[in-house]
Amino acid sequence: MGYGKQLFPRFPKEPEEAERMIDEELGLPLAKDREIEKTMQREEREQQVLDLVGRQHENKLNIGCLDVGQGDATVIRLPTGEVIVVDCNTADANVDLVDFLKSCGVDVIDYLVITHPHYDHFSGVQKLVDNFQIRNLMEPSIERTDITEEARAEYDLYCNTVNELEKHGTTILHPVASSDVYKEIGDVRLSVYGPSRAGIERAEGLEREVHTNSIVMKIEYGDFKMLFSGDVDRDGWTRIAKYYDIESTVLHASHHGSVSGCDEQSMEKISPSRTIISAGRGNPFGHPDGEAVQVYKKYSANGTRTTKNGSLGISASKDGSYIFYD
């Protein structure tokens, strides 16, 4: 008794072989070909982001969220030409931050922002010191004393690098939360909502307080607003949402899309048109977390991940409109 054409004369032992046989039977592009196509698309998009951030546009705020694996690195070119780098993971990066900046013609970083002293956010600091003049470093004045020996080595590396920056003439800034604008650069405004002064004093070197006291920063260009959240956790979000206007056009999601960095009440206040998640493909932490992704989908019209799309670009105008490259 038959039920039509038999798809497979034998059951394949390996998943890759099964996928290949299904693709061939259904006339679909082979998995290998699909992966090659995805790689080509990512490379094309990375070139678009490079072209976007690589030159000054008098009436545009251009932002590149780079595909740096399990970590964060964002390059911002202001309409007046200044360059801001928010976090700088290079440890397992798919896009080399130093090469990207050099290809953009950058020799001076006006503001380097390290949202908190964890390696996936600061691993590239030494490379930046070796290759660029860094005028200002913004970092939270948070100590890590209640830590393992391995974490101690990581933190010592961070402190030594910050000290070296200071020796090179970099101005070290320790911003704290305020309702006042922190910096104005032309028509661009930087506001800082975390960490709070009380939070830093309360931390007492405890490792669990590092995420709570991440730098949370909004960059505004007219009606366009983008919120960077480091790895801030729910405790940090609760305070920030209570005291500050965090409504934003775009959110750079906290902690690579982990559930610990996703707060539903805060998302309701932020109400972004788009949420960006930076994480590494196949990372061992399961980022982004499915529960967090559902919250982001609920309160954000669009969501994009570097795990799927690679590097991402934004070109924003003062009227709040923007072009998104994904």
Q: DSSP states of 206-240 as a string?
A: BTTHHHHT--EEEEEETTEEEEE-TT--HHHHHHH
Q: What is the mean pLDDT of the chain?
A: 89
- Residue entry with tokens 């490079």: 50
Give Cα 308 distance to the centre of its chain.
14
pTM for this predicted structure? 0.88
Structure tokens at 57: 């546009």
Helices 15-26 & 31-53 angle (0-180, nearest 10): 90
Residue-wise pLDDT for 33-77, tens only, equals 556 666 677 788 889 999 999 988 889 999 999 999 999 999 999
Amino acid letter, 36: I
Local confidence band at 228 (pLDDT 50, 70, 90 cut-offs): very high
Question: From CA 238, how far away is CA 66, in angstroms rounded?
Answer: 28
The phi-psi region of residue 94 (left if phi > 0; otherwise alpha if psi is between -120 and 50; otherwise beta) is alpha
Exposure b/e, 260-285, CB count within 10 A at least 16 = b: ebbbeebbebbebebbbbbbbeebee
Tell me what pLDDT residue 56 has: 85
Tell me what pLDDT residue 6 has: 43
**Between 249 and 6, the higher pLDDT residue:** 249
- Residue entry with tokens 């013609």: 105
Question: From CA 269, how far away is CA 170, in angstroms rounded?
Answer: 36
Residue-wise pLDDT for 255-296, tens only, equals 999 999 999 999 999 999 999 999 999 999 999 999 999 999
Local confidence band at 24 (pLDDT 50, 70, 90 cut-offs): low
Q: Which domains does the chain have, with CATH numbers?
A: 47-316 (3.60.15.10)
Q: pLDDT exceeding 70 applies to what percent of the chain?
A: 88
Tell me what pLDDT residue 8 has: 41
Question: From CA 127, how far away is CA 164, in angstroms rounded?
Answer: 12
